[in-house]
Amino acid sequence: MRLKEPFRGFNLVGGHTLFHLALLVTSLISLQFPAETKANEDFLYTVNMLRVAHALDVLFAVLKFLGASPKEYAKHCFTFKILDTVKMFFYLGAAMYALFHETQTKKALENPDRWIRRAEMWILIELLVFFGQVFCSVFFIFGVELRGALGVNTDPNFIRFKYDCLEFYQSDIGWFSYIFVMLGLHAFCLLKRIHMPSKSDNSIKLFFSSWMIFTRFIQLYLLMPYRRDDRSYTTIANATWIGLGVLELVGAVIVCFFSDLNGSITAGAAIVDVIVFLGQFVMYMVNTAHKQNNAGTDGSAVGGAKAQEPLLSRVAAASDVDGDRTKQSRQQKSQRSFEVADSIYNLAFVTLLDPVVVQEWQAEHKDSGYLGHIKLTDAEAVSVFQGVLIVIGIQIVTLVLITNEFVLSLTFAPTETFNILIPRLISCFYMHSVLAAEIKNGLDTMKYVVNHPGHFKRRSLDEDDHDDTVAEDGLYIRICYAFLLGLIQYVVAIILEIMSIIFLNSQTSYLFILICYASLAAVASFDNMYASALDEHPIRQAAGKKLAVTFNRYMCFQPGQQPEGQAPAMVSLNAHDKEDNSGPIQAGFHSQALAVLENPRQNCFLKFLRVIHKTLRVFHVSFFFYFAPFLMLFYQFYVVSQQKRKDSS
């Protein structure tokens, strides 16, 4: 799964138009426009900011819909991106201000003013929807990654590698969020009524929230997935929609038994739910009609893949992903090579590779981009490995000192002004950008070790002083050291990012935030600085070179298990220009698509290392790569909630 654009998480934080419409309408109905007083001034300002953000998103969505035709989109595609960016930043700013508002209010739910109590509940619901859309993305991608890690082919058409992960699954995540977020909203109302019983109709409200949770679970079962693994859209029968509509209608009837509907948060949740459900139905019917109108008599697309793309999906994503269902083969899937970074971690990793394997790469690939034989004496190789141990020791000691001196003794600093939240979030993005390469390199190192344990065998036995040595001597020690290099690089980067989030939330000065960021960034890049200092060392020749990839997961076919209708190519690792029934295989032994090879990860030790790598990879793809900087907002919200709970007790 490709991770191309770390800032794509911003797109999801901007929210889905259907939620913006539902929240805008419900806010206007439930809270209306009370007279401004000194007591409700900040509440009214926060609510109105959120309303403007919702209205802006809906307005821009209408403009995009009017320009959704291929002709108009070609003219205005860049303008649409400007509109997306503007509304995204505005909504993020409104949500951050709502979060700041929560840090300034105390015991608002106990205020004698009824409108203030309901405004406080509504602001909490707005924040719940904001964070819920992020969490639903995490859970969706986690599910896809977990299925892939367990061996399920989640991309049978082999087209996903052309797109960024969030770009590829954007409409799927949107559809899932309509169900997931509403589940969270009704669960919030249920818990609220349990811990803070309503003065009127509490039992009916508890029953309503329970009924809607049940209804949304039914929808989760019947309406998911939005698209199958082959990117074909799930067909939902009319009877299914009628049945779900009846469940929604029953919920609406329950609301009618409320003695006081005006301003009720539970009634507001019901309005949001109805609007979201109707929006799901309209989107499905419009997209279905659009696809049928653009299909030929034989079912083929008229106007190409873009014409078959759902109309309303184009408004939301403005991407070719939804229309791309062109089945490709493994041979067409581009291969990713492992490039040696200018880091002492990678340079030390190279010293653990067998020189004979490197010489075979040089003979196989005439491309100068691949790593060639480097004349290293044993003393020079060992000195590089010792250098990485020194760097690891310095980084760990520094982390321990920072933890003891600052983080463990920190107290959460109240946010006195809204403006301080902005540099906190920006600095988190700075830090995330600095550490992204370190984290990716650590994961790639672990993956390379697990997939290529044979590259650490000793083959140049004729150079040994003794005759009783074998290729496996010290093999697992070298594999363990090489894997640990990637693991330590990954863990250090993760710890630094988490520490920066905690530390930045303790600073109330923009100057100290910048100093904190600069200090932690220096610790993160120390391995690169040390590698640059090895100016005349021969190991520097490895920096920027590629390591040959001779094994991929899909090569693990056993005889009789190859895809139907395709005969496996019986090839050796060094063979290329072979063909099978599916067409020519790309030149280069690292891209043999249907080679029947022995799985190099068969023993328990390598399987254990692969479990570690896959676990970290799933966490990285589903959450850390896209959403780690927003941990600052989650942490802020969590600390505020804990402080309010402490004050109330």
- Domains of the chain, residue spans: 6-331, 338-550, 556-598
| pLDDT at 382 exceeding the cut of 80 | yes
Q: How far apart are CA 627 and CA 317, in angstroms?
A: 19
Highest mean pLDDT of the ranges 266-275, 364-373, 414-423:
266-275
Mean of pLDDT values over 347-364: 82
- Percent of the chain past pLDDT 70, that is, above it, reads 78
| pLDDT at 75 exceeding the cut of 60 | yes
| pLDDT at 505 exceeding the cut of 80 | no
Mean of pLDDT values over 570-577: 35
Question: Could you count the other beta carbons within 10 Å of the beta carbon of residue 244?
Answer: 20
Mean pLDDT of the chain: 79
Q: How far apart are CA 79 and CA 381, in angstroms?
A: 55
| pLDDT at 18 exceeding the cut of 80 | yes
pLDDT value of position 562: 45
pLDDT value of position 106: 79
Torsion angle in degrees (nearest 10) through CA of 555, 559, 561, 565: 100
Instruction: Tell which wins on pLDDT, 25 or 475.
Output: 25
Buried b (16+ CB within 10 A) or exposed e, 441-453: bbbbbbbbbbbbb
Cβ-contact 487, 359 below 8 angstroms: no
Which residues, in sequence order, are CB contacts of 574 under 8 Å at separation 6+?
360, 364, 589
Query: Which H or E run includes 23?
Result: helix 17-30
pLDDT digits (tens, 9 = 90+) for 465-480: 555 556 566 788 889 9
Mean of pLDDT values over 192-207: 83
Instruction: Tell which wins on pLDDT, 436 or 565.
Output: 436
pLDDT value of position 548: 80
pLDDT value of position 316: 45
Query: How does DSSP assign 166-208, residue by residue?
Result: HHHTHHHHHHHHHHHHHHHHHHHHHHHHHHS--SSSHHHHHHH
Instruction: Tell which wins on pLDDT, 634 or 299.
Output: 634
Q: How far apart are CA 305 and CA 232, in angstroms?
A: 12
pTM over 0.85: no
pLDDT digits (tens, 9 = 90+) for 93-104: 999 999 888 888
Q: How far apart are CA 22 and CA 540, in angstroms?
A: 58
Instruction: Tell which wins on pLDDT, 110 or 614.
Output: 614
pLDDT digits (tens, 9 = 90+) for 585-641: 333 333 444 445 566 777 888 889 999 999 999 999 888 888 888 888 887 777 777
Q: How far apart are CA 153 and CA 150, in angstroms?
A: 9
The residue among 121, 102, 98, 107 whose CA lies nearest residue 265 is: 121
Report how far apart, in Å, the C-alpha atoms of 630 and of each of 138, 313, 463 are. 12, 26, 55
pLDDT digits (tens, 9 = 90+) for 304-343: 444 444 445 444 444 445 555 555 555 555 566 788 888 9
